[in-house]
Amino acid sequence: MRLLLDQRLLLDQRSEAEDVDYSYVPELSDELESLILARFPRSEHWKLYLLNKHFSDLLKSGELNKIRKEIGFKESSIFMSPSGQNCWWACDGLFKSCRKLPELPSLDICFINGDKESVCAGSHLIVSGRETFGSVVWRFELEIGKWFKGPSMIDPRCLFASATCGTFSFVAGGIGMDTRVSNSAEKYNPETKSWELLPRMHQKRKLCSGCFMDNKFYVIGGRDEHNNQLTCGEAYDKDNNTWE
C-alpha cells in the first residue's frame, strides 16, 4: 500500500515537473492498483479522498465495492449515534479507528429529538425516524461520504425489527402510519437504492427484535395488535421467499 501511495504521489508530481526523470518508479496497472485499494480499510477511505482526485473518483464510482465482493473481502463496521445528537460515528470492528460522519442534515426538531432506528445495507447506513409531517428515511453512502433523503419504505413504520445480511437489509412488523400493528416486511437494495415488498409474516408484531443468521432473517418476540406479549418468532428464508 505504501508503494502504491508513493507511486501515485510521484506520478502526480511528474505533471508539475516534466524535466525530472521518474523512470525508476515502477508503474502499476489500473487493475492491480484497484485490487490493492480494495483491501484498504473502509474506515480509512477518507484519507484517500484527500490524497488525489484519481483515488477520490475511484471510491465514488463504487468500483472498489464491486471488487471487494468478487474477491470475497469482508470488513465489519460499527455506527453509533450519541443520544440527543444529530451526528454519527463510524468505527472499525476492533474500534482501532473511529471518525465522525458529516452531520445528518435534517433540521426537523421532531426527528432530532425523537426515536430513530438504523440498519446497514452494503455501504449504506439507513436511519429512519419521524419528522413533523410523517416518517422519513435518511441514508449515508460511505463511498461518497454524504447523506441523502430517502428512499422511503413502501410501508412506512416505526418500532420494527431489522437486520442486515451484509448485502441487503430487512425490516418487518412495527406500527404503520395508520397506527396499526403491521405484519408486512421489506428488503432494501443499496445498488438500486430501493425497497422491495416481501411476503407478509404470519403474526402481526411491534417492538420486536431482528437478526440475520444461516441465510434467514429472524423476527423475534414483541407485542401483537392487542398489546399481548409474544414469545414466538418467525424466520424469512430469502432463497425460498417464505416465512416459517
pLDDT computed for residue 2 by the predictor: 55
Of the candidates 155, 154, 106, the residue with the CA atom closest to the CA atom of residue 127: 106
Which residues 6+ apart lie within 8 Å of 159 measured at CB?
A: 117, 174, 175, 206, 207
Provide the pLDDT confidence category of residue 43 given band limits of 50, 70 and 90. low
What backbone phi and psi angles, to 5 degrees, belong to 66?
-65, -40
pLDDT at residue 24 above 70? no
Rounded to two decimals, what is the model's pTM? 0.75
Of residues 68 and 223, more confidence is placed in 223
* Rounded percentage of the chain residues whose pLDDT exceeds 70: 88
Of the listed ranges 7-16, 85-94, 155-164, 225-234, the least confidently predicted one is 7-16
Query: How high does pLDDT run on average in the chain?
Result: 84
Question: What does the pLDDT average to over 14-40?
Answer: 65
| Residue indicated by cell numbers 468505527 | 91
Of the listed ranges 68-82, 98-112, 136-150, 151-165, the least confidently predicted one is 68-82
pLDDT at residue 8 above 60? no
Provide the pLDDT confidence category of residue 22 given band limits of 50, 70 and 90. very low
Q: Pick left, alpha or beta for residue 209 (phi over 0 → left; psi -120 to 50 → alpha; otherwise beta).
A: beta
pLDDT tens-place string over residues 200-222: 999 999 999 999 999 999 999 99
pLDDT tens-place string over residues 138-150: 999 887 788 999 9
- Cα separation, 88 vs 206, in Å, equals 26
- For the domain made up of 84-243, the CATH class stated in words is mainly beta
Instruction: Give me the residue spans of the domains in the chain.
Output: 2-16+26-71, 84-243
In the chain, the amino acid numbered 21 is D
Given a contact cutoff of 8 angstroms between Cβ atoms, the answer to whether 234 and 228 are in contact is no
pLDDT tens-place string over residues 167-199: 899 999 999 988 999 999 999 999 899 999 999
